[in-house]
C-alpha cells in the first residue's frame, strides 16, 4: 500500500509471453499511459521476450524474470522480491500464467500488494477436471479486468463473483494510424508480391485456431468469383501457418494469398488494405479491429465475443456469424464492390474507436479501477 508521503501509486505489470501479441500491446499502452500520469509503472518480463524489448524502447523499466509456467515458484519469489524491494502497490497480471505467479508473489511480498488480472478472451476458464481452474481465479487475484462485457459474462457463469470483475475494453493509439502513416506504399505492395491497383483483403492476427483464418481462406476463395483480381494479405505468425499454406494450395488460390509472417509495420500494411476481414470464433475486444478502424479500413467481422460492443452491423461495419464462410464471403464482396458504403462504414468505425476505444480511455478506466481498489483519498495523482 502507498505510504504516508502521499506518493503516486505503483504498478508492476507481469507478462509471461515471449512473442508480441495483442495482450502485450495493451499492456504497453497501459504501462506507458500510467507513467505519463505520474504513476510508477514497471514490468516483469521474460529474458529475450518481445515485451522486454518493447518496454525498454518505450522507457518502461522492465525486470528480467525467467518464468517457466504458472507454478514456477522461483519466478514467483523473484517477483515478490522485486515487489517488496520497490514497494509496488499493485501486481497486474496480463497473461493467464501470470495470474498464479502474481498471486503467489503477492503472498510472499511485504507489504502485500493487491493483485489485478486481465482476462482477454471469452473462453471458459474451466480447462481442468472438477472445475479446479476456478481455484486460481478465486484465490490468485483480488480483482479482474475483462476486455469486454462478453468476457465478463463468461467469467460470471464460470463462478467468478461479479463484483470482482470490471470491464475495460481493449484499445489502440490513434496517433499510430494517422493518414501519413497509413498512406499506400507501392514499394511495400511490390515487396509483398501484390500487383499494383488490385483490391486487397487483409487480416492481422496470430495464426491459431480461434482466429480461424481457415474460414477466411474459404470465404476469400468464394469472394474471388465476384472480384477475381483480389489478393488476401494475412499478417501474423503461429502454429497454423503450414495448414493455411496447404489449404490455399488445395483451394487453388495460393498465388492470391500472402503470409509474410509477423511484422512491425502494421500501420503501413493497413494502408494497403481495401477491406479488413476478421474471422475469429473467440475474442475479447480485438485490438486489430481498433487499428483497422483508426486506419479507416472498412471492416467485415464475425460476432465473436465482445466484437458486437465495437462493431455494429449496418452502422460501422458488416457482422456475420462465426464459422460461416459463405456470409463472410458476402461481406467481403459487398465492401469490395460498394465503395461508397465501405467508405461510410470506415468513417463510422473510426469515430467509434477514437471516441470510446482509444488508449487514453484504456488508461482512464483502468486508473478508475485501481483507485477504487486502493482508495482515492490516499493518492496525490491527477484525476482520470
Query: Per-residue pLDDT tens for 210-239?
Result: 999 999 999 999 999 999 999 999 999 999
- Predicted TM-score of the model (pTM): 0.89
CA distance 211 to 305: 12
pLDDT in tens, 70-82: 999 999 999 999 9
- How many domains does the chain contain in total? 2
Write down the pLDDT at residue 211. Answer: 97
User: Do residues 269 and 199 share a domain?
Assistant: yes
φ, ψ of residue 259 to 5 degrees: the values are -125, 80
Rounded average pLDDT over 347-354: 98
Q: Does 126 have pLDDT greater than 80?
A: no
**Residue 383 belongs to a domain:** no
pLDDT (0 to 100) of residue 135: 78
**Structural domain boundaries enclosing 96:** 10-171+358-378
Give the chain's end-to-end CA distance (angstroms, integer): 20
Each residue's pLDDT tens digit, 255-268: 999 999 999 999 99
pLDDT given for residue 123 in this prediction: 82
pLDDT at 128: 52
Region 104-110: mean pLDDT is: 97
Does residue 376 surpass a pLDDT of 90?
A: no
Q: Is residue 3 part of a domain?
A: no
pLDDT digits (tens, 9 = 90+) for 282-314: 999 999 999 999 999 999 999 999 999 999 999
Neighbours of 36 (CB within 10 A): 12
The answer to whether residue 234 is domain-embedded is yes
How far apart CA 64 and CA 46 sit, in angstroms, is 6
Residues 147, 243: one domain?
A: no
- Which of 260, 259, 253 has its CA nearest to residue 220? 253
**Is 125 in the same domain as 241?**
no
Output 123 or 265, whichever has higher pLDDT: 265
Q: Which three cell numbers stand for residue 256?
A: 492470391
Contact between residue 50 and residue 18 where contact means Cβ atoms under 8 Å apart:
yes
Same domain, 161 and 221: no
Residue 305 lies in a domain: yes
Cell readout for 11 is 504498478
Q: What is the DSSP string of 46-61?
A: -TT-HHHHHHHHTT--
Residue 8's φ and ψ, nearest 5 degrees, are: -60, 150
Q: Is residue 97 part of a domain?
A: yes
Residue 125 has pLDDT above 70, yes or no: yes
Q: What is the mean pLDDT of residues 87-106?
A: 96
213 in the same domain as 129:
no
Clarify whether residues 212 and 110 are in a common domain: no
Q: Which pLDDT tens digit goes with each residue over 169-187?
A: 999 999 999 999 999 999 9
**212 and 244 together in one domain:** yes
pLDDT tier at 8, thresholds 50, 70, 90: confident
For the cut 50, the answer to whether the pLDDT of residue 384 exceeds it is no
- One domain for residues 204 and 186: yes
Q: Is the pLDDT of residue 60 over 80?
A: yes
The reply to whether 70 and 199 lie within a common domain is no
Average pLDDT of the chain to the nearest whole number: 93
Paired residues of 300 in beta bridges: 277, 318
pLDDT greater than 80 at residue 131: no
pLDDT at 62: 97
Looking at the fold, whether 189 and 227 belong to one and the same domain comes out as yes
User: What is the C-alpha to C-alpha distance for residues 176 and 234, in angstroms, rounded to an integer?
Assistant: 20
Question: Considering the domain boundaries, does residue 287 fall inside one?
Answer: yes
Q: Are residues 286 and 203 in the same domain?
A: yes
3 state SS of 325: helix
Burial 315-337 (b: 16+ CB within 10 A, else e): ebbbbbebbbbebbbbbbbbbbe
SS3 at position 202: strand
- Whether 129 maps to a domain, the answer reads yes
Angle separating helix axes 50-57 and 22-36, nearest 10 degrees: 30
Q: Is 187 exposed, middle or buried (0-12, 13-18, 19+ CB in 10 A)?
A: exposed
Is residue 113 assigned to a domain?
A: yes
CATH for 323:
3.40.50.2000
pLDDT of residue 375: 87
Q: What is the pLDDT averaged over residues 335-342?
A: 98
Instruction: Say what the pLDDT of residue 273 is.
Output: 98
- 136 with 189, same domain: the answer is no
Amino acid at each position: 500500500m502507498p505510504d504516508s508521503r502521499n506518493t503516486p501509486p505503483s504498478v508492476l505489470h507481469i507478462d509471461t509471453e515471449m512473442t508480441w501479441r495483442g495482450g502485450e500491446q495493451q499492456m504497453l499502452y497501459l504501462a506507458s499511459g500510467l507513467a505519463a500520469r505520474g504513476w510508477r509503472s514497471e514490468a516483469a518480463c521474460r529474458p529475450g521476450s518481445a515485451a522486454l524489448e518493447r518496454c525498454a524502447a518505450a522507457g518502461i523499466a522492465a525486470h528480467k524474470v525467467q518464468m517457466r509456467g504458472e507454478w514456477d515458484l522461483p519466478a514467483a519469489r523473484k517477483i515478490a522480491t522485486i515487489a517488496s524491494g520497490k514497494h509496488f502497490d499493485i501486481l497486474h497480471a496480463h497473461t493467464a500464467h501470470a495470474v498464479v505467479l502474481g498471486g503467489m508473489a503477492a503472498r510472499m511480498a511485504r507489504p502485500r500488494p493487491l493483485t489485478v488480472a486481465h482476462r482477454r478472451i471469452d473462453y471458459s476458464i474451466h480447462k481442468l477436471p472438477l472445475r479446479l481452474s476456478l481455484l486460481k481465479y478465486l484465490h490468485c487475484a483480488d480483482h479482474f479486468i475483462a476486455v469486454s462485457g462478453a468476457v465478463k459474462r463468461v467469467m460470471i457463469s464460470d463462478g467468478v463473483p461479479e463484483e470482482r470483475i470490471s470491464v475495460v475494453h481493449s484499445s489502440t493509439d490513434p496517433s499510430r494510424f494517422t493518414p501519413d502513416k497509413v498512406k499506400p506504399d507501392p514499394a511495400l505492395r511490390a515487396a509483398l508480391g501484390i500487383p499494383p491497383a488490385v483490391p486487397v483483403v487483409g487480416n492481422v492476427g496470430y495464426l491459431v485456431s480461434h482466429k480461424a483464418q481457415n474460414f477466411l481462406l474459404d470465404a476469400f476463395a468464394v469472394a474471388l468469383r465476384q472480384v477475381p483480381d483480389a489478393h488476401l494479405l494475412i499478417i501474423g505468425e503461429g502454429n497454423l501457418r503450414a495448414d493455411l499454406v496447404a489449404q490455399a494450395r488445395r483451394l487453388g488460390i495460393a498465388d492470391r494469398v500472402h503470409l509474410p509472417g509477423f511484422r512491425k509495420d502494421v500501420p503501413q500494411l493497413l494502408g494497403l488494405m481495401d477491406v479488413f476481414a476478421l474471422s475469429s470464433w473467440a475474442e475479447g475486444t480485438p485490438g486489430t479491429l481498433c487499428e483497422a478502424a483508426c486506419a479507416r479500413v472498412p471492416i467485415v467481422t464475425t460476432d465473436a465475443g465482445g466484437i458486437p460492443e465495437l462493431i455494429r452491423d449496418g452502422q460501422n461495419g458488416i457482422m456475420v456469424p462465426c464459422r460461416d464462410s459463405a456470409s463472410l464471403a458476402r461481406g467481403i464482396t459487398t465492401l469490395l464492390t460498394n465503395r461508397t458504403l465501405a467508405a461510410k462504414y470506415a468513417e463510422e468505425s473510426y469515430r467509434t474507436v477514437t471516441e470510446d476505444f482509444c488508449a487514453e480511455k484504456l488508461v482512464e478506466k483502468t486508473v478508475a479501477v485501481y483507485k477504487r481498489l486502493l482508495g482515492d483519498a490516499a493518492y496525490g495523482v491527477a484525476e482520470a
